[in-house]
Structure 1
Amino acid sequence: MHFVYNFSTQSLDPHRDSSYVPLRAGVTETLFKLNDKTLSVYPWLARSFEQVNETTWRIYIRENVSFHNGKLLDAQAVKRSLDRSIEENVGLRSALRIKSITSEASSLLIETTTPYPELVNELVHPNTSIIDVTADNAIDQKPVGTGPYHVTSFQPGSNIQLERHDAYWDGQPKLDTVTFTFNEDPGSRTMALRSGEADIVYRPEIEMIDTLEQDGLIVDKAETFRVHQLTMNLEREHMQSLAMRRLIDSLINREQIVDGILNGYASPAVGPFLPSFPFAPAYPSDEAEDIADLLEQDGYEQVDGLLTKDGNPVQLKLLTYNARPDLPLIAQLIQSDAKQVGITIDIQMIDTPEEYMASERDWDLATYSNLTAPRGDGGYYLNATFHPDGALNFSGVEDTALTQMIDRLNQTVDRDQRDQMTEGIAQYVDERVINSFLVHPSTNVALKDNVRGWVTEKSEYYMITKDLEVL
């Protein structure tokens, strides 16, 4: 089978790769897995778990599981892998809050630095994938996991060649081999399917979906946990103005993004979470607000059709990237609408958004796409995006009240209480316009009609599975 994916990677190190390719390609697995229909987490490489006290968890490891090199999975191997993931990944270290891991026969005893009821949910994270860290293979080229397929060769930025893991613990995988190709050009991905070269294409060209279906190909569409957002760099002068942030947010024509850019394969976003989530707030209706008065209070004024401050025209830098081809189009729409109110926006294309936004702080806005509940809970997104220690806090948010709210959420166990607290935090973010939320895009996957076993997951984590086959 030939699978074409829309992101590329230069490394298969599952503890560092932000594209999560080893998990998506069926090479690695995690201790726990997400059921994205119920937003619940269940054991995967773990067989069960228990919370010993508010900071201690015991996780029992599944028996009769082997790595690709034939070594049996045991608690010590899991400990070595988790220790390495925490050492290699600062963001993961912050997310897991692990103080110590002790291996005891067939189980692990994990102690966290603070009460942390969401530890098990966070162990769904692809960067916690379990590998044999003692293997001779170079981890960034051929990680030795427990998944249904193992790597035979890897061409960075191009493709992975996979073969069936005959001793796979969860039943015989149905494919002999898989070619997992990277291609960031939606037109090329679509052509690969229409020409017969590919069997499955992730995110085909939106404009070609009707044509693909007319060709007899299948297009599977799924609502996802994803939101396209406009990230605001609060370290920049103009973005520190609440009035300016409200103005930018008010300019965004979400319906035009849905219909004109995404051809209807999306829904307008009010906040980061889908309205169907139990922790999504019922946002109040928009109230008429005189943003002009607020801007004037912050020192802004209109001069000859330009919005100025201290005599200088407002000029903003907006980052975007091609790997999600709708984002540059959204950036251009925002640029055009901002021009109508006298704001000049310069668009800069970047290759690796996470790396650039974290290391370079000379930008004001960025189109970005993020999974907001990939572990079945809103806490992941809130911690990653709005906590000072968050790995995705590209806005540079340091809001004491917001941090305290997130910290209290992190120590709350009761599900109903967590949902209520998550709602409150989302409302707080909305009131202060800490980022603008644009649309919830659907995930579209095109495939041949002889493919069986494909499931378009909302989490976007599980792609090449043991159940995939080509008839």
Structure 2
Amino acid sequence: MRTFLLTLLSLPLLFASPVRAAESHDIRQTGFVYCVNGVVNTFNPQLASGGVVVDTVAAQIYDRLLGVDPYTYRLMPELAQSWEVSDNGASYIFHLRRGVSFQSTPWFTPTRQMDADDVVFSFERIFNRQSPWHNVSGGRYPYFDSLQYADAVKSIRKLDRYTVEIRLEKPDASFLWHMATHYAPILSAEYAAKLTLADRQEQLDRKPVGTGPFQLQQYQAGQFIRLERNPSYWKGKPRMSQVVIDLGAGGTGRLSKLLTGECDVLAYPAASQLSILRDDPRLRLTLRPGMNIAYLAFNTNKAPLDRPEVRQALALAINNQRLIASVYYGTAETAASILPRASWAFDSKAQVTAYDPDKARKDLQALGIKNLHLSLWVPSSSQSWNPSPLKTAELIQSDLAQVGVQVTIHPLEGRFQEARLMEMNHDLTLSGWATDSNDPDSFFRPLLSCDAIGSQTNLAHWCDPSFDALLQKAVRSQQLATRIEAYDQAQKILSSQLPVLPLASSLRLQAYRYDIQGLVLSPFGNASFAGVHRDSDEKKP
């Protein structure tokens, strides 16, 4: 994995030089600039655990078998035109769309259209440990590893050129929803075969080829990604010929770029900036409920945080209402569960953890906890689930100091965060989760199952077999009532054991220049930019 990351960091040598100021006029004529704070560790979302590649880039370069309608929250056809479910949810047949072309790039020219071979290759790489591609670029697939799908998938078969069957060892009612996430892109088997012959397999994840509306043209590490229009896109030619994803500024720097016109779209603006954005007639603002959760994870492998009573006492010291007011400025609601309230399995009886510092202090004393020093690891940049993680960390630090607990904050840069968390030396981690699935399993198993410890998405390192048994019961049933009952019980265990303290579920925010049209802000993540265009005839307000 280390070799792969070092290779990826050399990407600027593979592509052209950074965007120059003189080019900005051309960008305004033929495309738009999308500003988001993030770090790129790979261009293959199969290998990612979140971040800008999953939230923004994946929807532009790749397509999935299925999608999720951003308005109805229902599954919809993508590269699979239709599908069939049998064996009580253990067998799935996908009928593929015909006439879908892969992108032609300087590093690959396809000789055929997308078919079953590509689908089989894409999922064999993740689910089949014997595949020669499974260990390429490190062999870690965080999202699907947390679901243990390498053990759950029995077979992946090509039935004919446009039909694929996936059989599971046991029924799984959440399977189609996981196939609809951006972690499940369809890659080119032909491109992979070419790289195998050249013994350059890792290039598949650094220089991507997909079927999406845009393809990679340039990448400058830490600065920008330039995408160009895929002229053979199966849904029709995208309206803009290029998109520049600006990675180079955070916080007020990105806001300044939006106000000066250097950015056309600002993803995840800080909630404190809303009044500025609302008052500027040159800008528009979109707000939508988000399928996300911000939380504080306790490292349950370390004393005294291995004791639920200690975790409960610390939770009483955290003023969640102040977090909502000071960090989110009213653009989030206090979380009562690891599930957002928009989820169909949310327990309506769940209670937000009370704020009672006096009780917290007394409980810690009764538990014999004195002179407690904790390390809190926190991402340094804004996230879709938290516009200001460092400020949140400082507020938590202040709250815990009031009950005699000293907290040292350790900011983590994106590309190093995962490696540091793997060391398991932290006490607390401020994190979050956003998913493009409406199934509760997309929150529970990746974040809190025993298997998710190994995939590094369970930051609490918490394992409870009874909790896992309830998750398995839920996905084995096709009956909604049975699933809701199992998830209600699972949420009660989480409330009692408190491996993570849910903090907030935030609105998704997006600000953009007045002449930008066709942006779709989805609760599940950013949608395709294929329909985005600039309305030059629209009069400024």
TM (norm. structure 1) is 0.91
SS at match of 1:422: helix
Alignment root-mean-square deviation, CA: 2.2
Partner of residue 305, structure 1 = none
SS at match of 2:120: helix
**CA drift at 1:206:** 2.9
- The answer on 1:343 being equivalent to 2:402 is no
Q: In structure 1, how many angstroms separate the alpha carbons of the residues matched to 2:417 and 2:436?
A: 18
Partner of residue 306, structure 2 = 240
Q: In structure 2, how many angstroms separate the alpha carbons of the residues matched to 1:122 and 1:154?
A: 29
- The answer on 1:469 being equivalent to 2:533 is yes
- The answer on 1:58 being equivalent to 2:93 is yes
- The answer on 1:103 being equivalent to 2:158 is yes
- The verdict on how the C-alpha distance between 1:284 and 1:169 changes in structure 2, with shifts beyond 3 A counting, is closer
- CA contact under 8 A between 2:34 and 2:264: conserved in structure 1? yes
Q: Deviations over 1:306-365 (max 9, x none)?
A: xx1xxxx21111111112251111111111111111111111111237614641211111
Partner of residue 286, structure 2 = 220
Q: Deviations over 1:362-402 (max 9, x none)?
A: 1111110212x531111121111121102311211121211
Partner of residue 348, structure 2 = 282
Partner of residue 327, structure 1 = 389
Task: Kindly report which structure 2 residues correspond to 1:334-373, keeping only aligned pairs within 5 A, or say none.
Answer: 334-352=396-414, 355-356=418-419, 358-371=421-434
Q: In structure 2, how many angstroms separate the alpha carbons of the residues matched to 1:231 and 1:14?
A: 24
Q: Deviations over 1:248-295 (max 9, x none)?
A: 111121211111222222111111222243211123557899656754
- The answer on 1:113 being equivalent to 2:169 is yes
Partner of residue 53, structure 2 = 21
Q: In structure 2, how many angstroms separate the alpha carbons of the residues matched to 1:420 and 1:413?
A: 13
SS at match of 2:447: helix
Q: Which structure shows the bigger proportion of residues in helix conformation?
A: 2
Amino acid at match of 2:314: I
Partner of residue 77, structure 1 = 118
**CA drift at 1:420:** 2.6
- Structure 1, unpaired ranges of 5+: 301-307
Q: From 252, 257, 270, give the equivalent of 2:336.
A: 270
- The verdict on how the C-alpha distance between 1:374 and 1:23 changes in structure 2, with shifts beyond 3 A counting, is closer
- The verdict on how the C-alpha distance between 1:257 and 1:164 changes in structure 2, with shifts beyond 3 A counting, is same
- The answer on 1:422 being equivalent to 2:463 is no
**CA drift at 1:144:** 0.9
Q: From 236, 240, 243, give the equivalent of 1:171.
A: 236
Aligned length: 458
Q: Deviations over 1:102-148 (max 9, x none)?
A: 11211111112322222111112222111214325832333110111
Amino acid at match of 2:425: D
SS at match of 1:15: helix
**CA drift at 1:22:** 6.6
Q: In structure 2, how many angstroms separate the alpha carbons of the residues matched to 1:149 and 1:27?
A: 5
Q: From 327, 351, 365, give the equivalent of 1:261.
A: 327
- CA contact under 8 A between 1:317 and 1:365: conserved in structure 2? yes
Q: Deviations over 1:164-205 (max 9, x none)?
A: 111111122111111112135121111111111111110123
- CA contact under 8 A between 2:343 and 2:438: conserved in structure 1? no
- The answer on 1:197 being equivalent to 2:255 is no
- Structure 2, unpaired ranges of 5+: 1-31, 105-109, 128-133, 196-202, 536-541
Task: Kindly report which structure 2 residues correspond to 1:364-403, keeping only aligned pairs within 5 A, or say none.
Answer: 364-371=427-434, 374-390=436-452, 391=455, 392-403=457-468
Q: In structure 2, how many angstroms separate the alpha carbons of the residues matched to 1:160 and 1:22?
A: 14
- The answer on 1:187 being equivalent to 2:252 is yes
